[in-house]
Chains A and B, each alone.
Chain A
Amino acid sequence: MSDKKYWQTFGEHSNSEAFQEAAANEFREDLPVEGLDSTGLLDAKTPRRDFLKYLGFSTAAAALAASCEIPVKKVIPYVNKPENTIPGVADYYATTFQSGGDLVSVVAKVRDGRPIKLEGNELSSITKGGTSARVQASVLDLYDTARLRHPKQSDGNSFQEVTSLEAFDQLAATALGSLGGAPLVILTGTITSPTTKEIISQFLAKYPGSRHVQYDADSYSGMLLANEAAYGKKAIPSYQFDKAKVIVSLGADFLGTWLSPIEFARQYAAGRRVTDKNAEMSRHYQFESLLSVTGGNADKRFTLRPSETGPLALALLAELGGPVSAPALDGRLKSAVQLAAKDLSAAKGSALVVCGSNNPHVQLIVNAINEAIGANGTTINWAAPVLWRQGLDAEMSSLVADMDGGKVGALLVYGANPAYDYYDADKFRAAIKKVKTTISFNDRLDETTELCKYILPAPHFLESWGDAEPKTGYFSFMQPTIAPLFKTRSFEDSLLKWSGATDTYEAYFKAYWTAKLGGIDGYEKALQDGVVEPAAPSTGGAPFSSAKVSEAAAAIGSMKKGGAYELALYQKVSMGTGKQANNPWLLELPDPITKATWDNYAVVSPKYARDNWHIDLGDRRQADKFEVHPDRQVVSVKVGGKEITLPALVVPGVHDEVIGIAVGYGRQSANKDNTADYIGKAVVGAGRNAFPLATFNGLTVEWSAPEATCETTKEFYQVAQTQTHSNYEGRTEAVKELTLEDFKKSPDEILNEREEELKPYGGLKSFTEQGTLYGVYDKPGIHWGMSVDMNSCVGCGACVVACHAENNVSVVGKKEVLRYHDMHWLRIDRYFSGNLQEADSIQTVFQPMLCQHCDNAPCENVCPVSATNHSSEGLNQMAYNRCIGTRYCANNCPFKVRRFNWADYTGADSFPDNQNGIISDATMMMNDELPRMVLNPDVTVRSRGVMEKCSFCVQRLQEGKLKAKKADRPLKDMEDVRTACQQACPTEAIVFGNANDKESRIRQTRLENEGRLFYALEELHVLPNVNYLAKIRNTDVIQGKAGEKKEETAEKKA
């Protein structure tokens, strides 16, 4: 190398002393830290202790500053405690849900003066504590922001406030006084209340020539007229589905919307409750055009055109030996009729045929069939006729004609909205303008009320006194559960006042029932119980007259045959006829069949989609593409010159030549822009009104039209569905079904399957221990468990709304449901199986899916901050305050039951102004002060960014445990603890309790149903605390499994 000398620094170059010293010290061995001896450190400028002090303070300050972010809302205690109210403890009052003729005895839970939840009244022998989605949701109607707050008067263009009720009375008196002898008509929905009826007749007595017209949007006139012809009674009998071994329904959706679905669902489930020891159940035939909830539960289902209902009834009667000749039917229906007739006659005396048609001739034939199979007096009970529907379409029709002819001086409307739901609403709207005096008693400015001159706000049923008579001799009572929120007065009070009575309705009501029930004690007990019923229920028939049968048969024979497509209108379980249309809980409740929310739509068959849009949903590629996008083809349905355009949903099991549209949607004020203020913010844009498509046959309004056209437009519309994939892909790990025959033959089939699956882990017995590397701990004390019977669940959705109400579950609005952001803690999964192109082969299964509270929960171990963890009682619980929202738990949940707060749905956020434009108007409405009154104070309102899910109603469990503890006794399930979904269920499909308690129903249920019991995705070793009981079909084939077997053989061949 070269001998050139490089220097690194100037120091080295000059070789100064300092440099030499530094160079010498460069490799000093001791640490060059000064002051490490005893004195140095504490004398330093920043001693260690000071440093730690500063560190501690700044950390604490930062932590404090970071956690003080929630705005403070003050709670002010009572200065004087109201009597009978203990803050934080709920009171319960028996009352009655009333909406049109629908009556359900309920118990209202009142917390601190606010009704917040309705439960079924178990003392009612009709519903036995069952409820429906609409009943559960009705408590929210009390807090509806669109409710009228004071009386109003119209000057033709706008509404003026009437300052006081007295002033209103004067206005009414003047108006009614100047009728000049023209008759007065009171137009109401069906009224069953004995006191109201009496008050109406007293009032009418003052106005000679006047009358009371009852009008039902979903009319049962056909049945009323047919029963008059056959039994001499213009009434509807009680049906006893529990006593029927064979049930045939001709288009009656008796589990969803027909007549008394809560009662029928309970009876139906009772007749089909299968246990290992008692493997007997009824057989249910359903003939229908669309796929209804009832059809979804049927064992054998056949599709027909609406116009074929009559001929089919005739054929059935002929097959059963009736005095009619069978009309021509296609071979498929013919053999179906033979099959049904064979079963019906074999089960004589324990068989029942019901029909959803509103045609009196068809209903008369059905009466003859029921006579032929011995249903009269056995499954049909004339001893207690029902009073839910009393309206006759012909009466309404003549009223409209009278109004149009100027023959009506005054119209008082209460509980009816013909301007919206009458088949010829245009005519009604024109006619009402010709009535001089119109008074509406209503809770909002709906389509009819806005056409009236004087408007008196009506109270909600939870603010009212009242009574109802759902069945003759069965009474149900109403009492106020809250002081009136607004300046309202009941219809009865007004009529009393205007008749010149001095009594209030309350006093009148009290006097009436005190006299009836033999004293004040009887009256008070009736109020407390909520119901008065005959001591012993009786069953009886009515003499049948077949005089008109041949006439009816002839009428059916001359009915119009259908065209290329027929129209069938139907009701959705959630919306009914639209009386509770502005209810976000109901709007967001997924339809049991289509799983769609917030809209109505045309229901078409897969064949329709294939023929018209060239989409074959049987082809996986096309189905995949179709289902993952929410855009749906808009169709234009035309019936007799009336047209309606709405999106079309493809539903398997719908007759190929039938278009179905749900009524109850499309609520709209005369001026569209007023809808949000008059009817409600939530209804804006929710569907189209299908009532105008109904047809009038001269006697009754029928919800079908034999000639309809359905044209595809170029537009698309997004329909928000909460479930898009409808096939369970043969995943019997999640869904198990058996035919009754197979179940009887080998009751242990499922048990053996499970045993086989878990064999590598020593079978069922040792799976818990052997299936894991970790230690297994004892579970002493309480261990909560739930059993869901898929054979009893009819899919009605009452539990879903009950969960909404109990747990303050957010409504997210259509826009967010479209983005798959719905928040339901409990959903009902609905799967179809069978051949899509063959409507009759479609089988439907409903599976309520909620947090399975896994003992080895995959969500728990992935949370970085332990926000979700396991309680010693087996609950998978959420600490909302701890949640930071990584969503890992939701990803790792095999059941996908966890729900994330994607936006500030509840207004519980500390970020200001972050809702507008982000969340829908309906959700904004739910954040108003008024609807917030429905919130359950025992349940945290979750804020944005946290995960939530079913808690097994932990607030109820705590309350129940406390109750048992205070009474110093062991906890009893049913009495102490019931989850909201369990309590709401009309069919007792959900059983809940302490699985460690040998006496508990959950334990008993699991023991009695070992043959049907399974845990969803059991082999994952997540150890769910929710078990399912397999669905049993009283039929020959399980379509879901058939597909699987086909695949298996195909694989083998390959």
Chain B
Amino acid sequence: MALLKYESQVRPPLVNGTKDYHQVTEDIVRPIEARPGKLWWIGFLTAVGLLCFGMYSVYREVTYGIGQWNLNKTIGWGWDITNFVWWVGIGHAGTLISAILLLFRQGWRTGVNRAAEAMTIFAVMCAGQFPIWHMGRVWMAFFVLPYPNTRGPLWTNFNSPLLWDVFAISTYFTVSLLFWYCGLLPDLASVRDRAKLKWRKFFYGLTSFGWTGSTKHWQRHEALSLVLAGLSTPLVLSVHTIVSFDFATSVIPGWHTTIFPPYFVAGAIFSGFAMVQSLLIITRKVLHLEDYITLEHIEVMNKVIVLTGSIVGVAYLTELFIAWYGQNKFENWAFMQNRVNLFSPLGWSYYLMMGCNVLSPQIFWFRKMRRNLTVTFFMSVIVNIGMWFERFVIIVTSIYRDYIPSSWSTYYTPSVWEIGFYLGTFGLFFTCYFLFSKFFPVIALAEIKHILKKSGENFKEKMGDAEAEPVEEFAHEMAHAH
């Protein structure tokens, strides 16, 4: 029975090295307490610059009209909604890691969940910009909120998938933000307690909401985390399902497809994990967190990528099969001519999507590749390009040539302000991420300390004590730890 107490030999440690709690705190809080380096400043200012360009792009669009973009009478949505769906999709990985993996008691999540959740929130913030600013009269945007008013029978239209989006995205953002912040509280308190500067003391005192670490706080914290995890879990599935309804409930061939909900969710997780990879590979390097975000983490996430990428691939092929099997002339055209036909005006985008999303992740069947940082980083970028094109293919190649051939559109390329808006959301995302990495612990301090007890070199060293312990007692202890 003593075997129960040992860490499995095949399961690698979650945290490398022999670190005590103090060392962990030091490692993770160090960047917060140190002055930001040159690299940080370059990155941050670049991000702010992009953000400013994005703001100017949006200013032009709001002042002069949506005509600042190259959309037209046939293509009502282009880069705007493509970017929206792309950003929302990216957010999904964070929620999956923090909620579903928490419920499934996946210990490894603690290394990456904080950054992933932050990414979720920033990505949803970016995503939200598009449906708001793509409106022709954004100053009337409040019409979409179903609040009591004096406009008589004019209320929101609950039949419209766009309205469902409003609820889905706002719920998603609220829950994600609460969940993330709830997890941050004990860590912010740690920073506060270590603070030597006045402003830091004040700032973290404010943001930690008077956390004292009392048992009661911990108890509530745990309960709230569990409740929020419970709330987030269905959101992982529902948000992108609802986003897919924007298309699936329409009558446009290429949009009107029942496979969309699961296919969108898989795609979202796929792109989300890719984004987590891109961010963390850089973060761990720059902030010297290789011991916490280990190769094991990278590998596990690569496994998720190859799985979801393959699901997405199956979905693509299913769609094609149904387009043929369904014998719907218009749907068949949307798939066979607008997409599969490489020589049709936008046919290239379909192949870019297929190549990036279905073929390239297959490289992760090889363990060596899964553990290669360069390959992983490169692939994570490729996957996100592919997933961007997936949305572009769905949105644009469906509507630019639909039912009535007289309306088939001219070639669609984005205007500089359309690109500017997209770059602007990158600016927003990275501005937020740089601030986050500077002012907040990028790894969940409190949570990683939990797993120190049951994994890693520390654990093995302390095995003597464990040996002495009766099995039942040990089991009990383990069952109540996280």
Residues of A within 8 A of B (CB): 1-2, 8-9, 22, 26-27, 63, 66, 69, 620-621, 624-625, 628-630, 723-729, 731, 733-734, 816, 819-822, 827, 829-831, 847, 849, 858, 861-866, 879, 882-888, 890-892, 894-896, 898-904, 911, 914, 918, 943-947, 1016-1017, 1020, 1022
Q: Say how far B138's CB is from chain A's closest CB, in angstroms.
A: 8
Interface string of B107-144 (1 = CB under 8 A from A): 00000000000000000000000010011111111111
Would A725 and B74 count as touching, CB distance under 8 A?
no
Across-interface contacts of A624 in B (CB, < 8 A): 343-345
Instruction: Identify A903's interface contact among B67, B70, B216, CB under 8 A.
Output: B67
Specify the chain A residue showing the minimal Cβ separation from B400. A628
Would A1017 and B73 count as touching, CB distance under 8 A?
no
Other CB < 8 Å A-B pairs besides A2-B465, A630-B410, A862-B162, 11 of them? Answer: A624-B343, A629-B410, A724-B409, A731-B405, A863-B162, A866-B155, A884-B141, A886-B131, A895-B407, A944-B65, A946-B136
Chain A binder among B171-179, B196-204, B207-215, B264-272: B207-215
Q: Say how far A722's CB is from chain B's closest CB, in angstroms.
A: 9
Across-interface contacts of A946 in B (CB, < 8 A): 136-137
Across-interface contacts of A892 in B (CB, < 8 A): 250-252
Across-interface contacts of A827 in B (CB, < 8 A): 406
Closest 9 CB pairs of A and B: A885-B136, A945-B136, A902-B67, A820-B72, A887-B76, A896-B407, A829-B406, A903-B67, A864-B162
Q: Is B411 part of the contact surface with A, judged by Cβ < 8 Å? A: yes
Interface of B is mostly: loop
A-B contact pairs, 17 of them (CB 8 A): A66-B139, A723-B406, A725-B408, A820-B73, A822-B73, A829-B404, A847-B406, A861-B159, A862-B250, A865-B156, A891-B250, A895-B403, A896-B73, A899-B73, A900-B66, A944-B65, A945-B136
Across-interface contacts of A816 in B (CB, < 8 A): 67
Given A26-B215, A724-B410, A864-B156; A621-B343 close (CB under 8 Å): yes
Given A849-B406, A892-B250; A864-B144 close (CB under 8 Å): yes
Q: Say how far A684's CB is from chain B's closest CB, in angstroms.
A: 21
Interface centre among A8, A625, A865 (most CB of B within 10 A): A865
Would B65 and A918 count as touching, CB distance under 8 A?
yes
Within 8 A of A (CB), among B391-437: 399, 401-411
Across-interface contacts of B76 in A (CB, < 8 A): 887-888, 890-891, 900
Across-interface contacts of A821 in B (CB, < 8 A): 67, 72-73
Specify the chain A residue showing the minimal Cβ separation from B80. A887
Instruction: Identify A9's interface contact among B72, B140, B213, B408, CB under 8 A.
Output: B213
Q: Is B333 part of the contact surface with A, judged by Cβ < 8 Å? A: yes
Interface string of B147-164 (1 = CB under 8 A from A): 001000011110111110
Would B136 and A944 count as touching, CB distance under 8 A?
yes
Q: Say how far A942's CB is from chain B's closest CB, in angstroms.
A: 11
Across-interface contacts of B305 in A (CB, < 8 A): none
Interface centre among B64, B160, B402 (most CB of A within 10 A): B64
Would A887 and B77 count as touching, CB distance under 8 A?
yes
Q: Is B222 part of the contact surface with A, judged by Cβ < 8 Å? A: no
Across-interface contacts of A886 in B (CB, < 8 A): 131, 134-136, 162
Would B252 and A891 count as touching, CB distance under 8 A?
yes
Would A26 and B162 count as touching, CB distance under 8 A?
no
Q: Say how far A771's CB is from chain B's closest CB, in angstroms.
A: 13
A1–B474 CA distance with the chains assembled, in angstroms: 10
Across-interface contacts of B403 in A (CB, < 8 A): 731, 733-734, 894-896, 1017
Would B406 and A865 count as touching, CB distance under 8 A?
no
Specify the chain A residue showing the minimal Cβ separation from B250. A892
Q: Is B20 part of the contact surface with A, judged by Cβ < 8 Å? A: no
Q: Say how far B421's CB is from chain A's closest CB, in angstroms.
A: 15
Q: Is B71 part of the contact surface with A, judged by Cβ < 8 Å? A: yes
A612–B401 CA distance with the chains assembled, in angstroms: 29
A830–B407 CA distance with the chains assembled, in angstroms: 11
Instruction: Identify A891's interface contact among B141, B399, B465, CB under 8 A.
Output: B399
Would A724 and B77 count as touching, CB distance under 8 A?
no
Would A866 and B157 count as touching, CB distance under 8 A?
yes
Would B407 and A900 count as touching, CB distance under 8 A?
no
Across-interface contacts of A901 in B (CB, < 8 A): 65, 136
Q: Is B311 part of the contact surface with A, judged by Cβ < 8 Å? A: no
Would B216 and A861 count as touching, CB distance under 8 A?
no
Interface of A is mostly: loop
Instruction: Identify B65's interface contact among A9, A66, A945, CB under 8 A.
Output: A945
Within 8 A of A (CB), among B166-190: 166
Interface string of B71-95 (1 = CB under 8 A from A): 1111011000000000000000000
A936–B252 CA distance with the chains assembled, in angstroms: 35
Would A903 and B154 count as touching, CB distance under 8 A?
no
Q: Say how far B82's CB is from chain A's closest CB, in angstroms.
A: 13
Specify the chain B residue showing the minimal Cβ separation from A1. B465
Q: Is B469 part of the contact surface with A, judged by Cβ < 8 Å? A: yes
| Inter-chain CB contacts under 8 Å: number | 209
Would A882 and B154 count as touching, CB distance under 8 A?
yes
Would B64 and A904 count as touching, CB distance under 8 A?
yes
Would B135 and A945 count as touching, CB distance under 8 A?
yes
Would A903 and B251 count as touching, CB distance under 8 A?
no
Would B157 and A863 count as touching, CB distance under 8 A?
yes
A778–B400 CA distance with the chains assembled, in angstroms: 36
Specify the chain A residue showing the minimal Cβ separation from B344. A624
Would B77 and A891 count as touching, CB distance under 8 A?
yes
A885–B143 CA distance with the chains assembled, in angstroms: 11
A896–B399 CA distance with the chains assembled, in angstroms: 10
A912–B405 CA distance with the chains assembled, in angstroms: 38
Would B214 and A26 count as touching, CB distance under 8 A?
yes
Across-interface contacts of B23 in A (CB, < 8 A): none
Q: Is B329 part of the contact surface with A, judged by Cβ < 8 Å? A: yes
A620–B405 CA distance with the chains assembled, in angstroms: 14
Interface centre among B65, B66, B213, B399 (most CB of A within 10 A): B65
Q: Is B9 part of the contact surface with A, judged by Cβ < 8 Å? A: no
Would A884 and B137 count as touching, CB distance under 8 A?
yes
Would B405 and A883 count as touching, CB distance under 8 A?
no
Would A887 and B212 count as touching, CB distance under 8 A?
no
Would A895 and B404 count as touching, CB distance under 8 A?
yes
A8–B163 CA distance with the chains assembled, in angstroms: 49
Q: Is B63 part of the contact surface with A, judged by Cβ < 8 Å? A: yes
Across-interface contacts of A888 in B (CB, < 8 A): 76-77, 160, 162, 246
Would B405 and A864 count as touching, CB distance under 8 A?
no
A937–B66 CA distance with the chains assembled, in angstroms: 27
Across-interface contacts of A829 in B (CB, < 8 A): 404, 406
Would B142 and A66 count as touching, CB distance under 8 A?
yes
Across-interface contacts of A727 in B (CB, < 8 A): 405
A620–B344 CA distance with the chains assembled, in angstroms: 8
A691–B147 CA distance with the chains assembled, in angstroms: 65
Q: Say how far A374's CB is from chain B's closest CB, in angstroms.
A: 42
A911–B135 CA distance with the chains assembled, in angstroms: 16
Across-interface contacts of B404 in A (CB, < 8 A): 731, 734, 829, 849, 894-896, 1016-1017
A820–B67 CA distance with the chains assembled, in angstroms: 10
Would A884 and B135 count as touching, CB distance under 8 A?
yes
Interface centre among B63, B77, B212 (most CB of A within 10 A): B63
Specify the chain B residue showing the minimal Cβ separation from A28. B216
Would B411 and A629 count as touching, CB distance under 8 A?
yes
Would B344 and A902 count as touching, CB distance under 8 A?
no
A63–B162 CA distance with the chains assembled, in angstroms: 22
Would A890 and B73 count as touching, CB distance under 8 A?
yes
Instruction: Identify B157's interface contact among A724, A729, A861, A898, CB under 8 A.
Output: A861
A728–B161 CA distance with the chains assembled, in angstroms: 31
Given A624-B343, A861-B159; A914-B406 close (CB under 8 Å): no
Specify the chain A residue showing the minimal Cβ separation from B399. A891
Across-interface contacts of A1 in B (CB, < 8 A): 465, 469
Across-interface contacts of A890 in B (CB, < 8 A): 73, 76
Specify the chain A residue showing the minimal Cβ separation from B337. A620
A587–B137 CA distance with the chains assembled, in angstroms: 29
A943–B406 CA distance with the chains assembled, in angstroms: 27
Q: Say how far B46's CB is from chain A's closest CB, in angstroms.
A: 30
Would B143 and A865 count as touching, CB distance under 8 A?
yes
